[in-house]
Structure 1
Amino acid sequence: MADEYFMLVCDDVPHDVVLTDAGVRVLEVAQVVRRLTGLSLWRSKLLTTQVPAVILDGIPQEDAMAAVVALCDAGARAETREQPEPDFPKT
């Protein structure tokens, strides 16, 4: 039996939110990361200090842009990245 792969086409490509620099107000950025991810404050601070770090994974573009704005307002540098299309084996 041959394996079959299907690619679903959708309008919105999933995006990742990447924290590239926490800035000088690390605690404020960690609080924003906590609010966005639901992690504890301790884990959010760890994630904030280990840059570059993917904060959110596979979310719609509008939500990703809102998260980037919230992080930038707290004093961090963040960006959105489109997730690459998966490579399916050729048959």
Structure 2
Amino acid sequence: MADEYFLLVCDDTPHDVVLTDPGARVMDVVQAVRGLTGLSLWHSKVLVTQVPALILKGVPEEDATAAALGLCEAGARAEAREQPEPDFLRP
């Protein structure tokens, strides 16, 4: 029996939050990342220093936009990106 995949059309496609630049106030951004992810202070700092960094993966658009805005308010540059279509769905 062959595997069949179906693309479900949803109103909300998953988004990723990507940190592109921590800016000058790195510790403020570390605290913001810690609040968003629940990581420890040390892991948050490591994540912030390795840009571009994927902060959140597969969240709804509203949550991704709010998280990116929170990171920008902390002094970073971040963006909410729509997740690409999986390879197995491409012709």
Task: Identify the residue that residue 30 of structure 2 maps to in structure 1.
Answer: 30
RMSD value, Cα = 1.6
C-alpha distance in 1 between matches for 2:2 and 2:17: 37
User: Shift of residue 89 of structure 1?
Assistant: 6.0
Structure 1: runs of 5+ lacking an equivalent: none
Matched-pair identity in %: 73
User: Shift of residue 56 of structure 1?
Assistant: 0.3
The question of 1:48 aligning with 2:48 is answered: yes
| CA separation of 1:27 and 1:89: change in aligned 2, threshold 3 A | closer
C-alpha distance in 2 between matches for 1:30 and 1:89: 36
Contact 2:7-2:89 at 8 Å conserved across structures: no
Please give the TM-score of this superposition, normalised by the length of structure 2: 0.93
Runs (4+) of structure 1 exceeding 3 A deviation are: none
Please give the TM-score of this superposition, normalised by the length of structure 1: 0.93
Q: Per the alignment, in what secondary structure is the counterpart of residue 88 of structure 1?
A: helix
Task: Identify the residue that residue 82 of structure 1 maps to in structure 2.
Answer: 82
C-alpha distance in 1 between matches for 2:68 and 2:88: 31
The count of corresponding residues between Structure 1 and Structure 2 is 91
Task: Identify the residue that residue 6 of structure 1 maps to in structure 2.
Answer: 6
Q: Per the alignment, in what secondary structure is the counterpart of residue 84 of structure 1?
A: coil
Aligned partner letter, 1:23: G
